[in-house]
Every structure is written in C-alpha cells, then in structure tokens.
Chain A
C-alpha cells in the first residue's frame, strides 16, 4: 500500500519565479492538505482540498494556490516567490472511512529560493 508521495524531492528557484509541487494521497484517501515547515519550526497549515474544492485555508497570501484532480491528487502553486518561501512543503492525506481525523504525511518537497 503506497503512502503519500510528493514530487519533486528538492527544488531551487529564484525570487519572482513560480513553482508547482505535486502530491498523490495514500490509497483510499480523498482529502489532501498542504503544510509549510520552516527550519526548526512545526508545520503550518496552508489549505485543504476535498472534492476538488478548497475547503479550509490558513493564514497564507493569495500567491499560494492549489488544485485537486478527480483522482484525488493535488498541486500546490506558489507565485512571485520570496526568499521567505524557502521551506519544506508537506502534503498530508486522510480518508473519511473510520479514523478520518488521522492525517498521514508525505516526505515533503524542499524548496530553496535564492
């Protein structure tokens, strides 16, 4: 049973550029959340997608946007990159059968903005 997968593993971008990160949820899961984890900090919630719609959003600017596809996979897009966007971006998935409050994380994409 494949867990949550993310691509790419690492990414280096320059200020002002745009980036797209990808996530495939754990088998049987239909809800995907994205988190940003700065070095030495806990993850911070960006947003959550369910049924191809953004359901909840954290305190992040509109430069952060996302999408969910019919197969439940998801993309995170960040426009006009800033140095402060350098972080580990984590995707988490959960399902609505039974233990729906447990979220499972992928390995993350490490984004460096220079």
Chain B
C-alpha cells in the first residue's frame, strides 16, 4: 500500500465548475500538507501549504486537511481552462524536518471552455 493515494483521473469539467481533488494517506506522522500544480513537461508549482488540520483559502483555491480521517482536499472554484494541469498532493512528517516530501500520483484535470 502506498503512503499517499491519489486518484489519477483524468478529470474533465466544464469552465466555471467547482473542482474537488482528494488524497488519502496512511502515515499519521504527516504534519505538513501541500498541493502542487504541474503543467505538461514543467516542474511542479507550489499552490497551497497547510500545517496540521483545518482549512486555508487563497483566491479561488481552498485546501482542507482532516487528520482524523487522513484525508486532504483541494477545491477550485470557478475553474478556468488555464487550470488544466496535473495536481499533486504532497506531505511531510515533522521528524523529516521539512525534507522528504511524499507525493501522490497526481490527478490530471482538464477544464473545457
């Protein structure tokens, strides 16, 4: 079993839709949770960063962490064609002191005009 599970998709939505992306994990030591966006043949770009449980909002993006369920989500409101990319969740345990990130497989998102 992988430490981080993420549905690879692909996920296709119409422009303006609300998108929900999710990851589950098994390691209860994970404390730091990140979402990265990766365009084709590019490096991952940090979108959101959350420590422990709770919600964090940044513009059209909202990240949620539920440590009791070992489940994290990223919501994208009013999705745009420019949001079409692969979204990667990543996690780190405090004992790794911010070093080793464990990634999900990535979810491929396509937003159709």
Contacts and interface: CB of A to CB of B under 8 A. Distances in A.
Q: Do A and B come from one complex?
A: yes
Interface of A: 4, 6, 31, 33, 35, 40-45, 48, 55-56, 58, 88, 90, 92, 94, 99-108, 110
Interface in B70-84: none
Contacts of A40: 8, 105-106
Contacts of A4: 43
Interface string B29-46: 000101010000111111
A42 B34 contact: no
Contacts, number: 68
Interface of B: 4, 6, 8, 32, 34, 36, 41-46, 49, 51, 88, 90, 92, 96, 98-106
B105 A41 contact: yes
Contacts of A105: 36, 43-46
B39 to A, nearest CB: 10
Given A48-B100, A56-B99, A107 B42 contact: yes
B98 A101 contact: yes
Given A105-B36, A108-B43, A42 B99 contact: no
B8 A43 contact: no
B99 A102 contact: no
B46 A102 contact: yes
A92 B105 CA distance: 18
Contacts of B34: 102-103
Contacts of A107: 42-43
Contacts of B45: 105
Given A48-B100, A101-B32, A90 B105 contact: no
B96 A56 contact: yes
